[in-house]
Amino acid sequence: MKQLNVRLDDEAHEALEQRAEAAGMSLPEYARRILAEEADERRQRFLTAAAHFSQAWGPAFEAEFGPYPQQDPGKASAA
């Protein structure tokens, strides 16, 4: 197993600590999960396919169901 040392500014560190806590994980566990997900080629292919699907079919969904509700910036999700 390899080791990686990363420097973060205080704001990024605090945000990651909060997300790790919300996920019930330690900061190192959470960081490993995030980095592993980012490196997963299947995830990248899925995100590319999802973006393509959204571009191709988004207008049809909007015509059928109306526009996607916009989130109030003051009520941003914790995810």
Domain spans in the chain, listed from the N-terminal domain onward: 11-58
Q: Which of 29-33, 41-45, 67-71, 72-76 has the lowest average pLDDT?
A: 72-76
Q: Taking the model in full, what pTM does it have? A: 0.58
For residue 79, what pLDDT band results from cuts at 50, 70 and 90? Answer: very low
Is the CB of residue 19 less than 8 Å from the CB of residue 31? no
Q: What share of the chain is helix, strand, coil (3-state, %, to 5)?
A: 70, 0, 30
CA separation for the pair 33, 14 (Å, rounded): 17
Is the CB of residue 66 less than 8 Å from the CB of residue 57? no
